[in-house]
């Protein structure tokens, strides 16, 4: 008779990077999810916004760090502050809007008001409080640490966490391809698209961190529709790789154009054809070839993007069986307007909720998650063994590198980082799985 597998207390027992499997219960169980909120999300650096989304004093957006709602706003000192979107009086949201511009936030319930730095400014009918009832300076909103990498604003509630540069580590070598491939950097086009998928948040991330394998099967017809009946390029193992560090990953070929071509906008390909020699001067030959290739990438725990296709997204957890996907289109700031618009059209046709490729993926992740409703089903393991013996050292590519983008290496590393953080009581408990090459140095 089948019996229930005991729940391990060591989270490394939910994954096995040598045998290549993952325990399905991490995609389903509420108790595990609650620990993720504490051990992963309350300690990680979260993408909050790009500088271009908050250009002026008073500009704000609301988002989530795990399930903690936060407001990010640009204060009159020019800095961005990130603080809890929950009033310290009785807990209501202080801001219900997605984004906007304001001088202050006024809570609906009893009229406490807060600055764009999160301080408690005033209280409606303040005379009802006797002297000594409240010290306003200690009842502001809880602020997170805020750091910025080349325009990407990140926040973290954990004051013991390493700084953002150490958190990203050598992943900056990859990130620079996305955000610093041309003078002027990038900007986020206006508009955030939200959608909900009945799937565990990790399925979205692991797909982008390493799953090239599904593309030419699952997206075959969508890709042909976008590329004038051309399929994805064939799987080439010699000239493609998985690379990861600190749970972040990028899988890629070196064809230079497949992810750009998927947009179905020939003028964007032409633009990059002209830019590539300059990109090679800026980032080196290798990175100019990686950019735009058949590739996908993610920053631990829940940020993903495609360099060349212009989609940028976060997978916000909404319980163990639901995620909120927020997407934006990113473009290079100095691109001509018509190229920016062509990229936006392309991302909306492919990687938006009504896009040809997004719909394929979401349906699969819902299936991956909801089958675990079955008691017997979720006692089974999932296979993550592809390419397990293809680890290599590469002179130029930093990180834990595997040969061949048809591989589960980045996914294994993602779940290893997941287990490392789930087990750790403090930051010293988290093992270094890779020695970075670029500590303290710029990667460009």
Residues that bind ligand FES (CB under 6 A): 87, 89-90, 92, 107, 109-112
Q: Which of residues 342-381 bind Fe ion (CB under 5 A)?
A: 361
Please report how close the Cβ of residue 112 comes to ligand FES at its closest, in angstroms.
4
Phi, psi of 248, rounded to the nearest 5 degrees: -85, 150
Q: How far is the CB of 208 from Fe ion (least distance, A)?
A: 8
Shortest distance (Å) from residue 220 CB to ligand FES: 52
Residues 6+ apart with CB under 8 A from 274: none
Residue 87 interacts with, from Fe ion, ligand FES, none (CB under 5-8 Å by kind): ligand FES
145-149/99-101 β-pairing: unpaired
Which of ligand FES, Fe ion, none sits in contact with 187, Cβ below 5 to 8 A by type?
none
Q: Indicate the DSSP class of residue 429.
A: G
Q: Which is nearer to ligand FES, 26 or 141 (CB)?
A: 141
Residue nearer to ligand FES on the CB measure, 111 or 431: 111
Closest CA to 252 of 220, 302, 210, 204: 210
Partner interacting with residue 109 (select from Fe ion, ligand FES, none; CB below 5-8 Å by kind): ligand FES
Q: Which does 89 bind (CB under 5 to 8 A by kind): ligand FES, Fe ion, none?
A: ligand FES
Least separation in angstroms between residue 18's CB and Fe ion is: 28
Query: Considering CB under 5 A, how many residues would be counted as binding Fe ion?
Result: 1
Output the six-digit token pair for 200.
């565990």
What span, in angstroms and rounded, lies between the C-alpha atoms of 314 and 344?
18
| Binding partner of 143, given ligand FES, Fe ion, none, CB within 5-8 angstroms per partner class | none
- Rounded to whole angstroms, the maximal C-alpha distance in the chain is 75
Shortest separation between residue 259's beta carbon and Fe ion, angstroms: 12
With respect to Fe ion, which residue has the nearer C-beta, 251 or 361? 361
Reduced 3-state DSSP string for 172-221: HHHHHHHHCCCCCCEEECCCCEEEEECCCHHHHHHHHHHCCCCHHHHCHH
Distances (CA, A) of 39 to 17, 74, 115, 135, 225: 21, 29, 30, 32, 42
User: Using CB under 5 A as the criterion, what x/- string covers residues 300-319 for binding Fe ion?
Assistant: --------------------
**In this complex, which beta carbon is closest to ligand FES, that of residue 58 or of residue 88?**
88
322 interacts with, out of Fe ion, ligand FES, none, CB within 5 to 8 A per kind: none
- Smallest distance, ligand FES to C-beta of residue 93, A: 9
Residue number, 214 or 373, with CB nearest to Fe ion: 214
> Which candidate, 132, 288, 304, places its Cα nearest to that of 201?
304
- Taking the C-alpha atoms of residue 61 and residue 411, their distance in angstroms, rounded to an integer, is 31
Write b or e for each residue in 249-259: b if 16 or more Cβ atoms lie within 10 A of its Cβ, otherwise e: bbbbbbbbbbb
Contact residues for Fe ion (CB under 5 A)? Answer: 361
């Amino acid at each position: 008779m089948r019996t229930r597998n005991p729940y391990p207390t060591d989270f490394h027992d939910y994954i096995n990077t040598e045998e290549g499997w993952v325990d399905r219960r991490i995609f389903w169980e509420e108790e595990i999810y609650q620990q993720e909120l504490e051990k992963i999300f309350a300690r990680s650096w979260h993408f909050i916004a790009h500088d271009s989304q908050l250009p002026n004093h008073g500009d704000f957006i609301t988002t989530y760090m795990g399930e903690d709602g936060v407001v990010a706003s640009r204060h009159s000192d020019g800095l961005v502050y990130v603080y809890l979107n929950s009033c310290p009086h009785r807990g209501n949201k202080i801001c219900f809007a997605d984004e906007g511009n304001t001088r202050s936030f006024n809570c609906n319930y009893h009229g406490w008001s807060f600055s764009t730095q999160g301080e408690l400014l005033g209280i409606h009918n303040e005379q009802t409080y006797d002297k000594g009832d409240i010290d306003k300076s200690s009842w502001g909103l809880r602020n997170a640490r805020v750091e910025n990498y080349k325009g990407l604003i990140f926040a973290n509630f954990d004051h013991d966490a390493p700084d953002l540069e150490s958190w990203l580590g050598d992943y900056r070598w990859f990130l620079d391809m996305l955000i610093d491939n041309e003078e002027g950097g990038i900007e986020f086009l206006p508009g955030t698209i939200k959608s909900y998928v009945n799937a565990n948040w990790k399925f979205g991330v692991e797909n982008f961190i390493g799953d090239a394998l599904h593309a030419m099967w699952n997206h075959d017809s969508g890709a042909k529709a976008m590329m004038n009946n051309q399929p994805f390029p064939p799987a080439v193992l010699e000239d493609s790789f998985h690379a990861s560090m600190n749970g972040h990953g990028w899988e890629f070929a070196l064809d230079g154009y497949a992810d750009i071509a998927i947009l179905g906008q020939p003028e964007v390909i032409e633009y990059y054809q002209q830019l590539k020699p300059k990109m090679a001067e800026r980032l080196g030959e290798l990175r100019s070839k990686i950019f735009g290739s058949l590739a996908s990438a993610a920053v631990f725990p829940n940020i993903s993007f495609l360099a060349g296709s212009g989609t940028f997204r976060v997978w916000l957890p909404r319980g163990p069986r639901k995620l909120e996907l927020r997407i934006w289109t990113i473009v290079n700031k100095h691109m001509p307007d018509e190229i920016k618009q062509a990229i936006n059209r392309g991302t909306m046709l492919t990687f938006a909720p009504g896009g040809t490729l997004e719909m394929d993926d979401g349906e699969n992740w819902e299936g991956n998650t909801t089958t675990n409703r079955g008691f017997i089903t979720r006692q089974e393991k999932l296979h993550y063994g592809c390419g397990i013996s293809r680890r290599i050292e590469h002179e130029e590519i930093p990180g834990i590198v595997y040969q061949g983008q048809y591989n589960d290496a980045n996914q294994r590393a993602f779940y290893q980082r997941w287990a490392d953080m789930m087990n750790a009581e403090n930051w010293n408990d988290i093992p270094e799985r890779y020695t970075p090459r670029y500590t303290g140095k710029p990667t460009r």
